[in-house]
Every structure is written in C-alpha cells, then in structure tokens.
C-alpha cells in the first residue's frame, strides 16, 4: 500500500517561511509585498480562485488588491489598468484571472504585464525565459508538481516520467520542469496510442487531463509516484483524474484531490510575490 503525498503539509511549511519573511520585513519597517489580482466579469472558477488567493495572502500578512472589472469593459481599458499596475511601485505581483470574456484578446492583454511582476508566468517573455531555463517566476501549478516531487528527497535523475496532458498551462511546463530535473520525459495526449502501456513505464506519472477517475491501477507501474493535477466537478465533489483508492494499492506515493497539487499553488503564487520584492 502506497503513501499519500500531501500538498497541505508542504504548503504549511512554505507558509511558515512566508510569515517569517513578512514579520522580519515589518520589524525592519521594510516594504510588504502587494499582489494585484484582476478579475473581469463573473466566471465562477475565477471568483473562487481569487477569493482563495485573497484569503491566503491576507492570512500571511501579504497585501492583496482585489480588482473587479465589469464583463463589458474594453480591451484597451483593461490594458490601461494593467499598465497602471506595472508603474505602481507598491505592487510586486500582478495576477490576471483567466479566462477573460470572449471579446478580449487574452494573448494581447497578458503580454502587457511587466515580466518582473508576472508572478504566474503568463507573458510570452516569461514563458520564453522559462523554456530557455533563464530566471523567471515559475508557473504555479507546474511548480506545485515539482515541489511535491522534490519534497520526497529522492534521486530521480535518469528516471522515466510520463505526463498525460499537453496544455500550455500544465502539461508542457510540467514536461520542461521534469526535464530540468534530468528525468527522461514522455508526453501523452488524446491521440496517443497505447496510453496504458506508456504510462506503465513511468517512475513518475503526472496526470493533467480533466477526466475524473480516468487513471486506474492498470496505468501504473508498481512503486511509481503518481501526481494528479486534475480537478473536475464530479457528483458535486472536486475529483481528480486518478482513481485514488485503486492506484494507491500499487503506487509508492499518490497525491490526493483535494489536498495535493491544488493545495500548494496559491501558496507558491504568494511566495513568487515575496521573491519579486526581494
């Protein structure tokens, strides 16, 4: 029987570091980081994430400016607002909640964020730095995957990793981070043939497809580490892509949903804002 790889425990350790960083700055009368989070319209998921970010930030003593804009604002208005935040020396991190309303060009708008304040790695410049291995803020969900793996203190160099999912926000950056750990990485997607056989070669299996309970133990090699990024609403509950009870019978570690990858992402976002200040 495998063990639970619990994101909440790791998040608690990082939160302690952030709290003591803020306490230290307050004692020395130094500037405290401030995050500006923009939400355009009423997307339910975005409202949930923005509220969660605000709660965690404030609980750690980080300033949080929640900017709520009407659904029907123009693209130029939003760009002007981001430019104001770029110039605001009080603000270290800018988060733009996605998706944006359909009449706004997401690529054009995200490209306006100052890369030095781009704490969720949304701009082309940040992504370019990320894929070239240059200094940048790591995108938070992929960073959460790699932080969970590193917490195990195992030597994974040269081991096989399989990522199921190739989205720009999860699958591809996870591939890049695993590769930078010197793992041998295979990326699978909806057109992959023999998915189960490939998944079964993985010492580390990362699943990010958005299909509840899709991966059962037939996909998993004995002793593998399984990281479940999926968060779908299923029978009224947040559910991962991995059939946890089944897979934990043969894996060495499995992340739960909730309480795995998602439990760490907001904390890592706030950590990025602290680093932006430094």
Q: Is residue 271 at the binding interface for ligand NAP, with CB under 6 A as the rule?
A: no
List binding-site positions for NADP(+): 165-167, 231
Residue 18 or 208 having the CB closest to ligand NAP = 208
Question: Binding marks (x or -) toward ligand NAP, 240..269, rule CB under 6 A?
Answer: ---------------------xx--x----
Under rule CB under 6 A, which residues in 119-138 are in contact with ligand NAP? none
Q: State the nearest-atom distance from the C-beta of 258 to ligand NAP, in Å.
A: 9
Residue 101 or 210 having the CB closest to ligand NAP = 210
Count of Cβ atoms closer than 10 Å to residue 247 Cβ: 24
Q: Is residue 272 at the binding interface for ligand NAP, with CB under 6 A as the rule?
A: no
Question: Binding marks (x or -) toward ligand NAP, 155..194, rule CB under 6 A?
Answer: ---------xxxx-xxx----------------xxxxx--
Q: Is residue 44 at the binding interface for ligand NAP, with CB under 6 A as the rule?
A: no
- Catalog residues that contact ligand NAP under the rule CB under 6 A: 141, 164-167, 169-171, 188-192, 195, 208-211, 229-232, 261-262, 265
């Amino acid at each position: 029987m495998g063990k639970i790889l619990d994101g909440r425990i790791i998040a608690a350790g990082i939160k302690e570091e952030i709290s003591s960083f803020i306490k230290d700055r307050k004692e020395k009368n130094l500037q405290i980081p401030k995050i500006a989070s923009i939400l355009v319209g009423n997307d339910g998921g975005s409202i949930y994430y923005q509220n969660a970010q605000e709660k965690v930030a404030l609980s750690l003593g980080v300033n949080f400016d929640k900017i709520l804009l009407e659904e029907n604002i123009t693209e130029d208005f939003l760009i002007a607002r981001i430019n104001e935040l770029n110039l605001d020396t009080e603000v270290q991190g800018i988060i733009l909640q996605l998706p944006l309303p359909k009449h706004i060009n997401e690529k054009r708008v995200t490209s306006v964020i100052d890369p030095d304040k781009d704490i969720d790695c949304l701009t082309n410049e940040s992504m370019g730095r990320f894929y070239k291995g240059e200094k940048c803020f790591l995108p938070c969900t992929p960073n959460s995957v790699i932080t969970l793996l590193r917490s195990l203190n195992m030597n994974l160099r040269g081991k096989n990793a399989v990522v199921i999912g190739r989205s720009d926000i999860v699958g591809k950056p996870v591939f890049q981070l695993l590769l930078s750990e010197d793992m041998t990485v295979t990326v699978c997607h909806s057109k992959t043939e023999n998915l189960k056989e490939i998944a079964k070669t993985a010492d580390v299996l990362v699943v990010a497809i958005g299909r509840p309970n899709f991966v059962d133990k037939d996909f998993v090699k004995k002793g593998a580490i399984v990281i479940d990024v999926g968060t779908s609403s299923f029978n009224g509950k947040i559910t991962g892509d991995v059939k946890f009870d089944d897979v934990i019978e043969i894996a060495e570690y499995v992340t739960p949903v909730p309480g795995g990858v998602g439990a760490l992402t907001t904390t890592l976002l706030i950590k990025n804002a602290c680093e932006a200040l430094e």
